[in-house]
Structure 1
Amino acid sequence: MDIVVGALSGMVDALPGKLGELLEQEYALLSGVRGDVVFLKEELSSMRAAIHHCESLDHHDSQTTGWIGLVREVAYDIEDWVDLFGIRVNGGAQSTSGFRSWIRRCVDKLTALPARHTIASELQGLKERVLEISEQRNRYRLGAMVGTTSQHAHVPRLSALFVDPDSLVGLDGKVEDVSKTAMDAGATNELKIVSIVGMAGSGKTTLANAVYQRLQADNTFQCSAFVSIGPKADMVKTVKDMLSKLGERHRGGEDISQLIHRVREVLEKKRYLIAIDDLWSSEQWGAIWCCFPDNSLGSRIITTTRNDALPTNHHSGSSKFVHKIGLLTDNEAKQLFLKKAFSSRNDCPQHLEDAFTKVLRRCAGLPLAVVSIAAKLAYKQSRDEWEKHGLNLLCSSHPDGLDGLKQILDLSYNDLQPHLRSCLLYLSIFPENSEIETERLVRRWIAEGFIAGSKEETAISYLNELIGRNLVQPLGLNHDSIPRRCRVHPVIYDFIVCKSMEDNFATLTDAQHVPNNNRTVRRLSLNLKNNSKEDQPAARNESTDLTHARSVTVFGHASATPHLTDLKVVRVLDLEGCNGPVCLDGLCQLVLLRYLSLKGTDTSELPPAIGDLRCLETLDVRSTKVEELPPSIVRLEKLMHLLAGNAKLPGGMDKMKAMRSLSCAGITKSSANVVEEFSKDDNLRELELYYYATEKPGNEKQIMFPVDRLQTVKQLCIRCTSPSVTFEPRVLPKIQALELRFEKGRADDMSGMSGLEHLSSLKHLVLEFEKHDAGAMATVDAVRKAAEALLLDHQCITIKVDGKNY
């Protein structure tokens, strides 16, 4: 039985530290509470070792699976208890000094005594659960964590090594390209390395083997070997295997250095061809690389890997080339499917055409998925069977399920560190084929507690690692090469949905399915987008217990949003893009809320007491009807990302020292200039300002960025009715990206832009007009001239007028 432990491992790793921090704080714990916290800290530390052992096993018995599930649920509840503790004891008040503050804290302690007794009672219940879990482990002798490691990890790969060349589809051109790259003499006879990189199941092994066979047939190499490694390879065995395929025997011991020395002796004076299939780590490549002497005889090495970072390691001085293997085109996928499912048939039976189209769409050009599903459906003739078995790719419990495909993806998943597994599983919350904005995703990761240190830079590095491992697809890059959006391949999406359901990581529902009430809901994703009546109000599911839900995400109609008063420990509430009116009753009681997105909804105002959400880090009300924010917003001292769109801000925003990104109207409700308000902010990195003129045409107010302002801002976006912007010297010294978006040009045909040459750190410029007129083109000419003098790389300049690039 498969079990997901990676996400759990990361949480159990973090909990002892959280409990330790709690013990160090100045809270006056009731008698016995401190001892219970110490007990939980020590017991969870011992459980951690057992959890880590589970990660090394691919299969477990039902008792171990059940025990892991109990640990997972109690770990969630302990973390909720810890996060609620400080807020319930002192109301979330910020620590201050002075006599009045001391009196205030004394009063708070007296008024909080009932809450303290409740806290102590809850903690005692958690302790009893942990004791029972620990006793169960001993009672059923689960300490050794019964399980097995996979012994058949290379079965799908073996079939790729014995593919009939005549049966290959979509590889002819790739074989030709890689072979030519490998054998192109270029200039010298130095050692050349060609690495084939791509996602799991993309045909890397098949391509490498076809290239290897072609090069070997030329008889230009004196010796050759094709060696597979894998994620848990025994490098001694691997090097011995290479020696054997080179026609040599090693009669010595098991010393890896002696084996490597023997391989080097064999290859030293020969022109060799070596294929290293399925590399997983730098350590593996570092060891295997030592076997290959650069003897200037024109030797060649071919490698395959799922990790984009590996081909660049450990071979400086040698010629190195990376071939990124793509997916099949629609026509190639169709040909391959028909060949595998219907042998010599060139078309699909008419009654299966609709199902055939749906299945191909789900495969999305992934060769292993096409081959596996075609083989599975080859002897099924009814449309119902095709839709049942072809569309439920990986979560089906049917005995003829796609074990090989799931096994290949399991290898990639099991190779991830626990924190990356949590981040990957989180993508199951979004609907299939969603293009997910990077900022939205990483800020949600942070709010969920997945990111060490809660730093956005760390979250971006996690996303880049998932992209580098070909588990996530990037969509577009911004000025600093960070993907703007990302997406998951449909097959990988099915895989992570399956894993997420197994681990109760997220509860995924749609209009036809409601949550399983037998399992505690930790993360709820309610997707009504496939509902034929998406624009109609949806019935709210009143029977599901959401008191333990950490995140709630709704796609479709806002009426399906649960009662906010039921969400006791929610950290993320994301209603982005929902249709219909949004009910915010009870919002200000969500004391642990860190991420709130109402972007693109019909929301017209925020609750006056929103400043009570002291944990809030991200607030997004862009593209709503909200015209101004409540004054209490300035009390949100942890708010890092305030995305208010065209809404005006209250005064006193300079108190919000944690702010890193801000989107708002350029003028506050008190008519103060936002630039002046935030001019001394040391944390602000991204700024988006809306200046939509209400004055008469030709009387637009000049937007000024005066000297020595906005010293830390790296990205600035200005949205105006028409251009009227001036940058003074020494303004925005760290600006890297500037976006200027205007509705129309100036009526006097003047550019309306000045001082662009003062932005000495600028790397990327976007200029966009909605309308094409003489004023717009005057601005385009002036800005292009100034930008080209500033930016030597003209590719960093993007100009668009009325939807056309200039």
Structure 2
Amino acid sequence: MDIVVGALSGMVDALPGKLGELLEQEYALLSGVRGDVVFLQAELGSMRAAIHHCVSLDHPDTQTRAWIGRVRELAHDIEDWVDLFAIRVDAGAGASSSGFFGFFRRGMDKLRTLPARHDIANELQDLKKRIVELSEQRNRYSCVLPVPEAALPMDPRLTALFIDPGSLVGLEGPVEELSKIVMDTDGRTDLKIVSIVGMAGAGKTTLANAFYRRLEVQNGFHCRAFVSVGQKPDLVRILTDIFSQLGDRHRGGQDINQVIDSIRNLLKDKRYLIVVDDLWSKEHWGTIRCCFPENNHGSRIITTTRNDTLPMDSYPVSRKIVHKIDCLSDADAKKLFLKKAFANEHPCPQHLEAVFAQIMRRCSGLPLAVVNIASKLAHKQLRDEWEKIGLNSLCSPHSDGSDGLKQILNLSYHDLSPHLRTCLLYLSIFPENFEVDMERLVRRWIAEGFIAETRSVSTEETARNYLNELISRNLVEPLHLNHDGVPSSCRVHPLIHNFIVCKSIEENFATLMDAQQQHVPDSSTVRRLSLRDSSKQDQPAVRNESTDLSHARSITVFGHANAAPQLTHLKVLRVLDLEGCHGPVCLDGLCKLVLLRYLSLRGSDTSELPATIGDLRCLETLDVSSTKVKELPPSIVRLEKLMYLLAGSAKVPDGIANMKALQTLSCGGSTKSSVNFIEEISKHDNLRELELYSDATETPGNKKRVRFPAHGLRNVKKLCIRCPSPLVIFEPNALPTVQVLELRFQKGLADGSSGMSGMENLSNLKHLLLEFEQNDAGAMATVNAVRNAPQGVLPDHQSITIKVDRKSY
């Protein structure tokens, strides 16, 4: 079993800093507690070095894996202790008072919290004892023996270099397409680089090799070379191999600079073809690329990589092409599977057809998965064997260190930095083939504490950068690109999902349960719980009351809301996500979740929030959109850390403008009129996105309008307005930084007029969406006005999207 320390490494890195922040606070610690905190801080600093050493091990021993498991549990408990500390001991209620009454108040607070302080001291002593035991254990078993090279599993990609071209399935078209891209000169003779990119196991090496071995390719160049790089390459050996394949023997004793000079001299007057397979690092590519001169002889370089940004980012050549490789079609995937599983492509036996269809869905056209699973099932005829091996290819006992598919995916996983491993593992919480909303994922990452804060970049921007990197590495698939190419949702390939589920289970990162299960699958502490309700909608799910969830940091329920556990004892919960749950939602005990940062009830049957929701002072995200909630409780204005308030059409209480942390707001206005509400929030400095469900309507003799005042909402980048009719006015200098404007109306004005004015004042507008549910004269009048108004802002109209009655215009 591989060691899984991605999430742990990031957590242990952060903990000494968290303990340092705790020491800086003006809390009255009991005698000895401060010294114990300092001790923990120092020990964790030393332990961090050991953790990073473990991360570097490709094949750790059993003792190391066991030690890592204990460190993981300890690190979680220390972090929970730190986060709960201020909540339980905060004597700040009177800390700001002065004089006798202030002194008296602080003294009373200390007496009142004395029992909690003793509990905290006892807990800290226990944590100290555990960390001492772990340190001693590591010292006793500090000798980590490397696995002999002969015992290491063979790289499964080697077989792709020796496949008979006649045995390939579904590659005829891709090889022909690649040939056209590579060989086409367009009348030019300069160097061209083609980078073949795709997810692990997509057949990049196979495609490059099939092209390389074509006769017309062999005859089209003066010299050729094909080398594989890998994650930990010996660059001198690789460059020597290139030199040898180009037709010259390497003379011993040369250093890497001499080898590079020799290759450049050999190629300077020749038309060459170089294939650099399995490229991982910009640094390695930066060295290798120095060998290849731009000699204007029509030379070509082909690279294969799992990272879309390599080598395009770092090579100055003007002609650089990224060639994205697709998975096999359903027909080709079935053909390849049958060819590997049954001799002479015999049809699948009738009794295996159902499980065969499930396996094909799981493989989703990924060639390596098809070949790997089919080879395991060759000569097997029992349905039980097919279900056990074919549907659990990465988690079954049959999947060991020599499993080619798992090896390939492990390479991608271990190439990630610790914080990216954590973010990738988090996707195991969602069901297979689930479309995950980007905003939902990013905000959950932030709530879990995965995103490091920096002075120059916001946590949201950092989280988006993490997600973009996972996408560029072809581990996450982007879906539904918007006007500027940013995806609104994402998905994980079924095989990668299966892989990260296995990793998540190994690390006890998340506990994945069917709602009908009566017990957690193992005895591990539950840190993150994902409940998948497999019951029918008319049959409420069974609550699992016997499971200890006192250490749970997140609860996610898919299906029936009755599957959600009781909230009473979830003292360290950070994330509660009941999005899309059907059936009654029980929120008893919600306001006792003092560490809760993310609460989503979106699309559920929730009709009312607790009056004391303002007690959740750590809350950062509250999403009750698409629910039956009509009005938010007045106490919500006490949520000083709330950044994302998504109330849908619900009204918000007065005083919402005083919530200075708000960055995204979606609501139906306040209990006052919409006009007063806009004026109230127009001076909000931190607001970046605003979605307004306005009740602006057209009545006989009166038109109630939504008016955006001059110089108001000066930092809003995105504005979405939902109104019955297009009655919107933008005054001069309103919304000076808005870049995206979405206008959604039910119908046009009865008199056939536009109803819109001032759009020409939105000087930074980059994208405009206009939508009408009904097609009428007023709607078309608004469409024409909108088309003409922003000509100075959007002269090419490429960023204007118009839909009327679901038809695009």
Q: Secondary structure at the match of 1:642?
A: strand
User: How much has 1:155 moved relative to structure 2?
Assistant: 2.4
1:125 equivalenced with 2:126 (yes/no): yes
User: CA separation in 1, counterparts of 2:149 and 2:600?
Assistant: 43
User: CA separation in 1, counterparts of 2:186 and 2:674?
Assistant: 67
1:573 equivalenced with 2:573 (yes/no): no
Q: Secondary structure at the match of 1:344?
A: helix
Q: Which residue number in structure 2 is paired with residue 416 of structure 1?
A: 416
Q: Which moved more, 1:99-108 or 1:285-294?
A: 99-108
User: CA separation in 2, counterparts of 1:106 and 1:147?
Assistant: 61
**Contact 2:401–2:407 (CA<8 Å) still a contact in 1?**
no
Change (3 A) 1:144 1:35: farther
Q: Which moved more, 1:487-496 or 1:692-701?
A: 692-701
Change (3 A) 1:292 1:154: farther
Q: Secondary structure at the match of 2:190?
A: coil
Q: How does 1:737-776 map to 2 (within 5 A)?
A: 737-776=740-779
1:666 equivalenced with 2:669 (yes/no): yes
Letter matched to residue 134 of structure 1 = S
Q: Which residue number in structure 2 is paired with residue 313 of structure 1?
A: 313
Q: Which residue number in structure 2 is paired with residue 87 of structure 1?
A: 87
**Contact 1:200–1:412 (CA<8 Å) still a contact in 2?**
yes
**Contact 2:557–2:577 (CA<8 Å) still a contact in 1?**
yes
Q: Deviations over 1:421-463 (max 9, x none)?
A: 0000000001111111100000000000000116100000000
Q: Which moved more, 1:438-447 or 1:735-744?
A: 735-744
Q: What fraction of aligned residue pairs are identical, expressed as a percent?
A: 69
Q: How does 1:262-661 map to 2 (within 5 A)?
A: 262-345=262-345, 347-398=347-398, 403-453=403-453, 455-513=459-517, 514-528=519-533, 530-531=534-535, 533-661=536-664
Q: Secondary structure at the match of 1:654?
A: helix
1:796 equivalenced with 2:799 (yes/no): yes
**Contact 2:230–2:280 (CA<8 Å) still a contact in 1?**
yes
Q: How does 1:56-67 map to 2 (within 5 A)?
A: 56-67=56-67
Q: Secondary structure at the match of 2:397?
A: coil
Letter matched to residue 524 of structure 2 = R
**Contact 1:731–1:758 (CA<8 Å) still a contact in 2?**
yes
Q: Deviations over 1:236-281 (max 9, x none)?
A: 2211222232343333436221221222222223222111000001
Letter matched to residue 508 of structure 2 = N
User: How much has 1:480 moved relative to structure 2?
Assistant: 4.3
User: How much has 1:696 moved relative to structure 2?
Assistant: 4.8
User: How much has 1:675 moved relative to structure 2?
Assistant: 1.2
Q: Which moved more, 1:480-489 or 1:586-595?
A: 480-489
Correspondence for 2:729 among 720, 726, 731: 726
Change (3 A) 1:524 1:149: farther
Change (3 A) 1:780 1:376: same
Change (3 A) 1:145 1:263: same
**Contact 2:652–2:668 (CA<8 Å) still a contact in 1?**
yes
Q: How does 1:670-749 map to 2 (within 5 A)?
A: 673-692=676-695, 696=699, 699-749=702-752
Q: Which moved more, 1:177-186 or 1:661-670?
A: 661-670
TM-score between the two structures when normalised by the length of structure 1: 0.96
User: CA separation in 2, counterparts of 1:183 and 1:500?
Assistant: 45
**Contact 2:476–2:493 (CA<8 Å) still a contact in 1?**
yes
Q: How does 1:94-113 map to 2 (within 5 A)?
A: 96=96, 104-113=105-114
Q: Secondary structure at the match of 2:420?
A: helix
Q: Which moved more, 1:489-498 or 1:160-169?
A: 160-169
Structure 1: tracts of 5 or more residues without a match: none
**Contact 2:271–2:297 (CA<8 Å) still a contact in 1?**
yes
Q: Deviations over 1:705-762 (max 9, x none)?
A: 1211111101011111111111111000101111111112222221211111111111
Q: Deviations over 1:278-329 (max 9, x none)?
A: 0001001001001111222222111100001113133213522111111111
Change (3 A) 1:399 1:781: closer
User: CA separation in 2, counterparts of 1:659 and 1:377?
Assistant: 55
TM-score between the two structures when normalised by the length of structure 2: 0.96
Change (3 A) 1:153 1:317: farther
**Contact 2:698–2:725 (CA<8 Å) still a contact in 1?**
no
Q: Deviations over 1:92-131 (max 9, x none)?
A: 7697576676765443233212111111111000000111
Q: Secondary structure at the match of 2:692?
A: strand
Structure 2: tracts of 5 or more residues without a match: none
Letter matched to residue 333 of structure 2 = A
User: CA separation in 2, counterparts of 1:722 and 1:441?
Assistant: 33
**Contact 1:230–1:279 (CA<8 Å) still a contact in 2?**
yes
Letter matched to residue 758 of structure 2 = G
Q: Secondary structure at the match of 1:443?
A: helix
Letter matched to residue 490 of structure 2 = C
**Contact 2:698–2:749 (CA<8 Å) still a contact in 1?**
no
Letter matched to residue 68 of structure 2 = I
Q: Secondary structure at the match of 1:673?
A: helix
Q: Which moved more, 1:779-788 or 1:415-424?
A: 779-788
Q: Secondary structure at the match of 2:683?
A: coil
Change (3 A) 1:102 1:605: farther
User: CA separation in 1, counterparts of 2:271 and 2:326?
Assistant: 30
Letter matched to residue 336 of structure 2 = L
Letter matched to residue 137 of structure 1 = R
User: CA separation in 1, counterparts of 2:751 and 2:117?
Assistant: 69
Change (3 A) 1:457 1:143: farther
Q: Which residue number in structure 1 is paired with residue 45 of structure 2?
A: 45
Change (3 A) 1:697 1:542: farther
Change (3 A) 1:121 1:172: same
User: How much has 1:382 moved relative to structure 2?
Assistant: 2.5
**Contact 1:610–1:632 (CA<8 Å) still a contact in 2?**
yes
User: How much has 1:574 moved relative to structure 2?
Assistant: 0.4
User: CA separation in 1, counterparts of 2:16 and 2:147?
Assistant: 26
Q: Secondary structure at the match of 1:320?
A: strand
User: CA separation in 2, counterparts of 1:7 and 1:150?
Assistant: 31
User: CA separation in 1, counterparts of 2:663 and 2:121?
Assistant: 38
Q: Secondary structure at the match of 2:311?
A: helix
Q: Secondary structure at the match of 2:441?
A: helix
Change (3 A) 1:364 1:456: same
User: CA separation in 2, counterparts of 1:134 and 1:615?
Assistant: 34
Letter matched to residue 686 of structure 1 = E
**Contact 1:739–1:765 (CA<8 Å) still a contact in 2?**
yes
Q: Which moved more, 1:457-466 or 1:321-330?
A: 321-330
User: How much has 1:698 moved relative to structure 2?
Assistant: 7.3
User: How much has 1:349 moved relative to structure 2?
Assistant: 2.4
User: How much has 1:217 moved relative to structure 2?
Assistant: 4.7
User: CA separation in 1, counterparts of 2:596 and 2:787?
Assistant: 45
Q: Secondary structure at the match of 2:269?
A: coil
Letter matched to residue 507 of structure 2 = D
User: How much has 1:234 moved relative to structure 2?
Assistant: 1.7
Letter matched to residue 524 of structure 1 = L
User: CA separation in 2, counterparts of 1:437 and 1:172?
Assistant: 36
User: How much has 1:383 moved relative to structure 2?
Assistant: 2.6
Change (3 A) 1:338 1:607: same
